[in-house]
Amino acid sequence: MTSVYEIDPLEDPRWAALLEEHPSATIFHSPEWLRALKQTYGYQAAALTTSNAHEPLTNALVFCRVRSWATGPRLVSVPFSDHCFPLVETAEQFACLLSRLKGECDHGGQRHLEIRASGAVPGGMVDSASFCLHRLDLRPSLGELFRAFHESCIRRKIARAQREHISYEEGVSQELLHKFYQLTVLTRRRHQVPPQPLSWFRNLLACMGDKVKIRLASYEGEAVAAILTLRYKSTMTYKYGCSDSRFHRLGPMQLLMWKAIQEAKDGGLLGFDMGRTDWNNHGLMAFKDRWGGTRSTLTYLRYPAASVRRPEHLPVRLANLLFTWSPNRLLTAAGNILYRHID
């Protein structure tokens, strides 16, 4: 029987070498992301591996034990990530590591296990959610990338933003964070959900170092759109976006995305990860489609099957109405309370 060992990826000196070598490692496996989760929500990251303490890491399954009075104790690989593929070499390795986590569920220590990765469904697990993942290949020339953008919805919008003298700033200053968060609250209200805690973004900036950047577009001195991007290995990831809908016609979001793509291309990166999208979010799907990238299906796996529940429509609609009409202070307070329990 293969032995399985649990390690702390924030303390184990072998973790960085595994991430550097493994092709499936992303920003969501990084110590920086895991540390921000710990500082904001108290989630303690762990990883399972078949490598013993005296040899290099050759595989790992990273996860967090999430303890919540609202949703119960659960295992998530990993919270608030779009995807977090197992860093394994074979399906047999994956099944071996999973068996340890399934055991925690079987013995009542955890309510369920969720793996945020696609692929063959291991025994006993079921599909719990499905998303569209957009990725843009950066290997073509910058001119070829630009010509692949949708003419009216992307290229003309970029030109419009430049013609309207939309200003552009980037960095990680507290002033940029404040403007970004104001737009985040505005956007989340429009989507009828609470905003993430401000502390989450503060901790991302503090933990990520030069891997994170806020990009802000302003019109006549007023912040109108912003995005937060993450850079890791050969990929730039568009993680968060927010905007004032009154200025959408001027193309500020298109300008910000183009600036990020240009920087990624100039920096020699190979891919631009545009993140996951709910299949029923047709507006965001269309926006991402128009950049000329490719779609793939991202399926989350859960164990046991009985843990998959669909939300009741009436409570969801009532909550959406509450978030639509609540003052900003109440909306942000709801986000501070709820986010550690809902992802």
Domains and CATH numbers, the chain: 5-117 (3.40.630.30), 134-297 (3.40.630.30)
What six digits make up the tokens of 105? 């569920």
Least confident of 86-95, 194-203, 207-216: 86-95
Task: Please state the rounded mean pLDDT for residues 61-71.
Answer: 89
- pLDDT, the chain, mean: 92
What six digits make up the tokens of 286? 């269309």
User: Whole-angstrom Cα distance, residue 291 to residue 155?
Assistant: 9
pLDDT score for 333: 83
**Distant-in-sequence, close-in-space partners of 316: CB < 8 Å, separation ≥ 6:** none
Question: Is residue 30 within 8 Å of 232, Cβ to Cβ?
Answer: yes
pLDDT score for 324: 65
What six digits make up the tokens of 4? 């399985």
b/e burial code for range 180-213 (CB count within 10 A of at least 16 → b): bbbbbbbbbbeeebbbbbbebbbbbbebbeebbb
pLDDT score for 177: 98
pLDDT at 316 over 50: no
pLDDT at 135 over 90: yes
pLDDT at 227 over 70: yes
What confidence tens digit (pLDDT) does each residue in 7-16 have?
999 999 999 9
Task: Please state the rounded mean pLDDT for residues 177-187.
Answer: 97
pLDDT score for 320: 58
In the chain, which ranges are continuous DSSP H helix?
A: 15-21, 31-41, 91-106, 142-148, 156-163, 174-190, 198-208, 252-266, 282-289, 313-325, 328-342
pLDDT score for 132: 97
Task: Please state the rounded mean pLDDT for residues 203-223.
Answer: 98
Task: Write down the residue that tokens 């970004």 correspond to.
Answer: 180
pLDDT at 317 over 60: no
At 287, the pLDDT band (50, 70, 90 cuts) reads very high
pLDDT at 312 over 80: no
pLDDT score for 335: 83
User: Whole-angstrom Cα distance, residue 273 to residue 294?
Assistant: 10
pLDDT score for 321: 53
pLDDT at 3 over 60: yes
Single out the residue of 86, 30, 81 nearest to residue 59, CA to CA.
86
